[in-house]
Structure 1
Amino acid sequence: MNGLLSVWPQAWTRKQRSSATIALAVAVLVAFLWLLAIPLALVPDPIGPAAQEFAEGARVTVQLTLVSGLVGVVLGVLAALAKLAPFPPLRWVAGLYIWVIRGTPLLVQVLFVFLALPMLIPGIQLSDFNSAAAALAVNVGAYNAEALRAGILAVPKGQTEAARSLGLSPAQTFLHIVFPQSFKIALPPLVNNLVALLKDSSLAYVIGVVELSNVGNRVQAATFQPVPVFIATACIYLFLTTVLTQISGAIEQRLDVEQRS
């Protein structure tokens, strides 16, 4: 589904339509986050009186997603490279990281970082937000690693051989030839991971992060009206994931993931 990409003039190039879509979607997202309290205040109880809390919770959810998502991409790149490294211990460490993180529930990981990590490493004291961001980043990083590793392996070996024959060093070959192509190949699953991360950030409520799900739980506990509260919460999540999907789809189009002309 093209979404916003289809509203622009057909005479525009693919890159022009993609850039316009990204700009519009980002503007809509920013406006939504900062003006959300205004329409919610017009909704009957129990939503209206808690409009400001819902708006602030939505902003915290997006902040948590962006911070952990960016760190998760970095961790994914490092883990993918380590798993492909010629040095066996690096491959073992990366494989252990991916195996453990993908094989344990995210809820357990969030609680581990918040409650257990300070006991294991006394010098570390993370806030509830930083603990949630760290756990989410480590989690999504493991999934990103497998997507990026598959992308790197999908780049034809002839590309590397041609670059080396032209005198490029291994580092230059990877940075300028292999990684750009592998990132384009891995972009669709990376985007899916980011959208899933937005929804998974709701688990941060268990350690006290006042994000969207936490706000919804507090309001329904105070008013004993779960139906309107959870419908409003779901609608906000749906809007956020829709806008994020539009942005990511436009980025895929701009990078020409499927090698279209």
Structure 2
Amino acid sequence: MNVLSLWPRGWTRQQRSTATIAAASALLVLVMLFIARPLALLPEPIGPAAQEFAEGTRVTVWLTLVAGVLGIAIGLVAAVAKLAAFPPVRWAADLYVWAVRGTPLLVQVLFVFLALPMLAPGLRLSDFNSAAMALAVNVGAYNAEAIRAGILAVPRGQTEAARSLGLSPLQTFTDVVFPQSFKIALPPLVNNVVALLKDSSLAYVIGVVELSNIGNRVQAATFQPVPVFIATASIYLVLTTILTQISGAIEHRLDVEQRR
């Protein structure tokens, strides 16, 4: 269901998008704050563990937001590096994308938490920070390819026109190329963020007390996997639906060609 279609027809595209972003963001905050109340009304084993599920939901959302923001920043740097004129920079970026996309996320999470402190003792991180870093590095590799494709999709003539007007290479990129390339890359970036919410469930292997970890603990204590995993999956479904509405509204707002 697209919330954009629920607003008055007389509203502009920007007004509908802004209203959808505001409403979905408010709903996400409400879910994080008050999800324990409806869960407490459910029978065992969900009701008695409502507060635990609520805390796990909050950790999952924060982990997704932190890793998502860092992943976009990493993806942007890697995308620019892959297009750099200096070959060693391109090779380093290609190696990063190749290595991250070619190895399981689970291995990356365990590597950051267990192996990285042995290689660099000063980089010993908490379980949450380790998971956030691993998720950000992973999604950053996929974001890099999306952003790189967006940059290459901007017509070369626009770059030449900007340079002929006296803009520096940095100004040309920040003021002309990047805004257009970001709009082009937005759909795959949106999909990556939504997938990141589900991938965050792998953080349980290093002890992060997120939603899937809570579900696993409750079912292990009660031996009732069916209601526990149905409840866990339902919460994930609610969260992904809200994030999809927010990201879809952002994409709709930035759709300057008004394709939708």
Could you state the TM-score of these two structures normalised by the residue count of structure 1? 0.98
Q: Which residue of 2 aligns with 1:215?
A: 214
- Corresponding residue for residue 123 of structure 1: 122
Mapped to 2, the partners of 1:20 and 1:255 lie a distance apart of 14
Unaligned runs of 5+ in 2: none
Amino acid corresponding to residue 195 of structure 1 in structure 2:
V
* Structure-to-structure mapping, 1:1-261, within 5 angstroms: 3-256=2-255, 258-260=257-259
CA distance in 2, matches of 1:259, 1:152: 20
Measure, in 1, the Cα distance between the counterparts of 2:36 and 2:8: 34
- Opposite residue 172 of structure 1, the aligned amino acid is Q
Structure 1 residue runs of 4 or more that deviate by more than 3 Å after TM superposition: 257-261
Deviations 1:165-219, CA, capped at 9 Å, x for gaps: 1111111000000000000000000000000000000000000000000000000
For structure 1, the residue ranges without an aligned partner over 5 or more in a row are none
Query: Aligned-pair distance for 1:257?
Result: 5.7
2:26 partner SS: helix
Contact 1:185 1:257 in 2 (8 A): no
Aligned length, in residue pairs:
260
Residues of 1 paired with 2:6 and 2:197: CA distance?
26
Alpha-carbon deviation of 1:259?
4.5
CA distance in 1, matches of 2:74, 2:52: 32
Deviation, structure 1 residue 72: 0.3
User: What is the one-letter code of the residue matched to 1:223?
Assistant: T
RMSD: 1.0
Match of 2:91, SS state, is helix
In 2, the alpha carbon distance for the partners of 1:161 and 1:204 equals 46
- Percent identity, aligned pairs only? 79
Shift of 1:125: 1.3
Instruction: Please state whether the residue corresponding to 1:10 is helix, strand or coil.
Output: coil
Q: Could you tell me whether the CA contact under 8 Å between 1:47 and 1:229 is conserved in 2?
A: yes
CA distance in 2, matches of 1:257, 1:42: 46
Alpha-carbon distance, 1:124 to partner: 1.6
Q: 1: CA distance between counterparts of 2:229 and 2:258?
A: 42
1:12-41 CA-to-partner distances (Å, cap 9, x unmatched) read 000000000000000011001110000000
